[in-house]
Structure 1
């Protein structure tokens, strides 16, 4: 376990049980979501990536997709 996670858990232990459960529920949901996305990306085939890229190119060409800079 990392030092940062140990620090977070130590602070969580000081909270009332109800607040601990709320935060624990959020953490578990986040872990589940990350696992789901990891699985989706790992199982995406080259053909699927190529199709997605083609769809994006079409949206750019038709003006349906606007590319914005990210700060």
Structure 2
């Protein structure tokens, strides 16, 4: 990185900061839905264990 010209270093730093901010926004969005999605997943797994589901065959859709 130090071998790059200062302008290129600034561009890389700006890109990296943007990526970090994007990651933070995704983390926040997923955290908001973690509880409800977890409950739905538990319900689906319970239904599968109880034999209330059937295999998905894409060719039959």
Please report the TM-score for the alignment, with normalisation by the length of structure 2: 0.55
Following superposition, the deviation at residue 20 of structure 1 comes to: 0.2
1:33 is paired with a residue whose SS is helix
RMSD: 2.2
Give unpaired runs (5+ residues) of structure 1. Answer: 1-11, 51-66
Please report the TM-score for the alignment, with normalisation by the length of structure 1: 0.48
Higher relative contact order (CA 8 A, sep 6+): 2
**Which consecutive aligned stretches of 4+ in structure 1 deviate over 6 angstroms post-superposition?**
none
- Paired positions, count: 39
Verify: 1:14 aligned to 2:3, yes or no.
Answer: yes
- 1:9-47 Cα distance to aligned partner (Å, 9 max, x none): xxx111000000001000000000000000100011517
2:13 is paired with a residue whose SS is helix
1:13 is paired with a residue whose SS is coil
Verify: 1:32 aligned to 2:21, yes or no.
Answer: yes
Match runs of 1:47-66 below 5 Å: none
